[in-house]
Chain A
């Protein structure tokens, strides 16, 4: 810090002089919209029958805004909005690149599908508990985490989504839910606290929490600080959030207890926020330390994949089985982080998007199967194929997609990841990904055999699917099939997103336009 001088301080470098361009409002509008809708829905707590009529058009608007944001980011490059006149690194900045915009759009689509499904599943009493307001605040937290450009702000959005997820988890207050929620709440709070510890150390080392500023300072390489320890702490905190191997046990303990719509939302959104943050911090901010941690992340990825599959093979309850499949998907995503190459990251991002859509769809399928077959247990279910052929076909498409078989969206990210693993000479990683694909085929094949083909225990009358269950499932399945058949567009986007993480010049330039990307 300089002593008192007579030199006039140049405030033009610190303050926003020009009004914010209209287009920049697009960056925070998803968050503002979600919080605003949440407030309106809270006001409607005595008129719960109106809540869906407000929430669903609001979510359609959210999807449109996120799509517009993605279009803008793809055509113009990363966009930054600065709050409260202070320019970064002093003020809080929201910065969106292709990666963040893609994840936010997928999150909005998933929430829209789940809210349609909730029309049939979330009863009046669950609505009184506040399903729709919590859903909106959860989305505000998720969108905020995807769009922010400041590490402390990321922590705050994590807390926003965490407290909303607690609310959603105990919707109904059954003893089983309270049991699951206690474990979920304590372990996730500890993970978030670990994240805050790492944020504190990050601030102690760099004296700033703006992501772009940190990226510039790291690349300038003028710090002797123990960054490896810091990267390890971040890996532990986000690994816990994402349910990676040694710290994954909260997920199968809690994900099967809430209402199926809530499980679907959690499976689609929450663990992926952990992966997003892990990629953002380790790949963009601390690339050298990520390379150093590479062997460790490889081991974590492989063990996570296999442990997830072991659990899925031994589970009797479909919801628990899907929880383990979520874990094994996290392992597959970590494989790309371990490789760290542009291709590996591109595969990880594609897999994350695919998994968001598909895991939500699979939980909804499980809910519908329980509705038609009278329970979630594989010992009870049976005869679903005879009962409703359309539903069985739809389920088969989604089961094949999670196994990573060709005409569906699970195939391409695995191809990209396996190719990247071979390019890096990590054949054991490629072998693990292929082995897990094979084991997933067994798991989903067994579900199809037992629940769909096996004759039903008692004769059940064929039931038609209600439109609010069929519509979101059809929509999600269309996405899965569409991106399986025509992956070029998304592959191109995820490649650009991975490139933007590896060489974040566009990101830095959007935060520090005057300095041309370097301070």
Chain B
């Protein structure tokens, strides 16, 4: 099962990196969305994939049964999902705002903060 997940994670990362290398900010956003999901799947696989056995201690026993699902990675993923979701929302608003203010979604043309022809500092008095 882990092998299948590893392949899926790999495909996700490939797609995310391909999209993030694009010039257009909206594609970069899509790449970041996929990247977040790739990482969540990776965290899930890192906790070892077991078949659906909830980690509940049986009556009369004091320890868990042989193979129970690991709850910790799920807690980690939950945190990571919430965080990446909120960041993606913020970034989408920022991209839209940038599109409105700069009239372009091509990152090559977003040169306001770093003008193409920068003035040299004065070389003498």
A residues whose Cβ falls under 8 Å from a Cβ of B: 1-9, 152, 156, 159, 162-163, 166, 170, 173, 175-183, 185-186, 189-190, 193, 196-197, 199-201, 203-204, 252-254, 256-257, 314-316, 377-379, 446, 449-450, 454
Q: Residues 45-76 of chain B: 1 if any A CB is under 8 Å from the residue's CB, otherwise 0?
A: 11100000000001001111111100011001
Interchain Cβ contacts under 8 Å between A and B, 9 examples: A1-B64, A3-B66, A163-B86, A190-B32, A197-B42, A257-B113, A378-B121, A379-B121, A450-B122
> What secondary structure prevails in chain A residues at the interface with B?
helix
Q: Which residue of B lies closest to A208 (CB)?
A: B72
Query: Residue-by-residue, is B83-125 near A (CB-CB < 8 Å gives 1, otherwise 0)?
Result: 1101100110011011001100001001111100011111001
| Contact partners of B111 in chain A: CB under 8 A | 179
Q: Which of B62, B114, B118, B119 contacts A6 (CB 8 A)?
A: B62
Q: How far in angstroms is the closest Cβ of chain A from B25?
A: 7
B118 contacts A316, C-beta separation under 8 Å: yes
Q: Known contacts A190-B32, A315-B121; can you find 13 more A-B pairs with CB under 8 A?
A: A162-B87, A163-B87, A178-B97, A179-B111, A185-B91, A186-B32, A193-B39, A197-B42, A200-B42, A204-B45, A254-B113, A314-B120, A454-B125
A204 to B5 Cα, complex, angstroms:
14
The interface of chain B, by Cβ under 8 A from chain A, is 20, 25, 28, 32, 35-36, 39, 42-43, 45-47, 58, 61-68, 72-73, 76, 79-80, 83-84, 86-87, 90-91, 94-95, 97-98, 101-102, 107, 110-114, 118-122, 125
Contacts of A177 in B (CB 8 A): 113
- Residue B87 contacts which of A152, A159, A377 (CB distance < 8 angstroms)? A159
Write the nearest CB–CB distance from A88 to chain B, whole angstroms: 13
The 8 Å CB contact of A156, one of B45, B79, B94, is B79
- Contact partner of B62 (CB less than 8 A), chosen from A9, A193, A252, A454, is A9
A8 touches B119 (CB 8 A): no
Q: Which of A9, A181, A199 contacts B94 (CB 8 A)?
A: A181
Cα–Cα, bound, A196→B20 (Å): 18
Contacts of B72 in A (CB 8 A): 203
Asked whether, in the complex, the Cβ of B101 is within 8 Å of the Cβ of A200, the reply is no
Cβ-Cβ contact count across A and B, 8 Å cutoff: 132
> Within the complex, what minimum Cβ distance (angstroms) separates A199 from chain B?
8
A379 to B68 Cα, complex, angstroms: 69
Q: For B35, what are the chain A residues with a Cβ–Cβ distance below 8 Å?
A: 190, 193
Top 9 nearest A-B pairs (CB, nearest first) are A204-B46, A180-B113, A4-B61, A179-B112, A200-B43, A316-B121, A200-B46, A175-B101, A179-B113
Whether B90 and A185, one on each chain, are in contact in the complex, defined by CB atoms closer than 8 angstroms, is yes
B113 to chain A, nearest CB (A): 4
Residues on B with beta carbons closer than 8 Å to the beta carbon of A193: 32, 35-36, 39, 84
Write out the residue numbers on chain A whose beta carbons fall within 8 Å of the beta carbon of B98: 178-179, 182
Contact B102 A4 (CB under 8 A): no
A450 to B123, CA, bound (A): 9
Do B101 and A316 touch (CB < 8 A)?
no
In the complex formed, the residue of B with least CB distance to A170 is B94
User: Measured between C-beta atoms, what is the minimum distance from B111 to chain A in Å?
Assistant: 8
CB distance from A501 to the nearest CB of B (A): 26
Q: Output the least CB separation between A7 and chain B (Å).
A: 7
